[in-house]
């Protein structure tokens, strides 16, 4: 049986350290084995599950996947809006330059989306008062949209 292993198929029961239990070391064999604290001779450590039940695991997956789906659908809707705006601008351009205007519009839209996302996330991270203010602004704008929709 190799040094540092128990007779079973379990993990090693010893920790390799430089020196013996009293703290001295030998030049001939500088590495000694010492049992880890609390390791009994015949007791295997009990494996604890990371998730208590499959139900909790499914709930966690739903809690993550649903917001991701909403964000993806919102992103698609906003990209369709950008595509309509860019194509309406390109429709007034001569056909020979239309592809250049469409490609440039898509690149500018992507650069603006990336840049404003970085600026917004940095501002929200640094200015702690901005997040509640932005939330209040969203509630007010959403309330106005709902109010105008019901009035018309």
pLDDT value at residue 48: 56
List of residues 6+ apart from 6 with CB closer than 8 A:
12, 13, 41
pLDDT at residue 26, as a whole number: 47
Residues in the chain: 152
pTM comes to 0.43
Distance of CA 60 to the CA centre of its chain: 14
Residues 119 and 76 grouped into a single domain: yes
Token pair recorded at residue 91: 């429709």
Residue 38 falls in which region: left (phi positive, over 0), alpha (psi -120 to 50) or beta: left
Quickly tell me which residue has 């592809």 as its tokens.
99
Q: Residue 145: its pLDDT value, please?
A: 93
Domain boundaries, position 69: 54-132
Task: Split the chain (152 residues) into runs of 10 and give each run's mean pLDDT.
Answer: 49 49 49 52 56 64 81 82 86 91 89 90 90 93 93 88
Using the structure block, give the residue that is written with the tokens 């920790």: 15
> 61 and 123 share a domain?
yes
What pLDDT was estimated at residue 147? 93
Is the domain of 37 the same as that of 7? Answer: yes
Residues 24 and 90 in one domain: no
Pairwise CA distance, residues 105 & 114, whole Å: 14
Q: Say whether both 14 and 62 belong to one domain.
A: no
Residue 140 domain flag? no
How many structural domains compose the chain? 2
Token pair of 106, please?
């898509």
Q: How distant, in Å, are the alpha carbons of 49, 54, 149 from that of 67?
A: 26, 21, 26
Inside any domain, residue 11 = yes
Same domain, 72 and 33: no
Q: How far is the C-alpha of 111 from the C-alpha of 26, rounded, in Å? A: 64
64 and 120, same structural domain?
yes
What is the Cα–Cα distance from 16 to 36, expressed in whole angstroms?
Answer: 9
Q: What is the 3-state secondary structure (H, E, C) of 30-52?
A: CEEEEECCCCCCCCCCCCCCCCC
């Amino acid at each position: 049986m190799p040094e540092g292993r128990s007779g079973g198929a379990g993990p090693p029961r010893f920790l390799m350290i430089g020196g013996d239990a009293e703290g001295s070391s030998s030049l001939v064999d500088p590495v000694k084995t010492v049992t880890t604290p609390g390791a009994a001779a015949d007791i295997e450590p009990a494996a604890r599950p990371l998730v208590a039940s499959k139900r909790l695991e499914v709930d966690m997956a739903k809690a993550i996947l649903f917001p991701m789906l909403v964000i993806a659908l919102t992103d698609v809707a906003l990209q369709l809006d950008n595509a309509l705006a860019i194509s309406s601008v390109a429709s007034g351009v001569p056909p020979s330059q239309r592809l250049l205007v469409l490609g440039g519009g898509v690149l500018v839209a992507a650069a603006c989306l990336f840049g404003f996302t970085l600026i917004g996330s940095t501002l929200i991270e640094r200015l702690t008062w901005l997040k509640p203010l932005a939330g209040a602004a969203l509630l007010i704008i959403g309330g106005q949209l709902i109010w105008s929709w019901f009035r018309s």
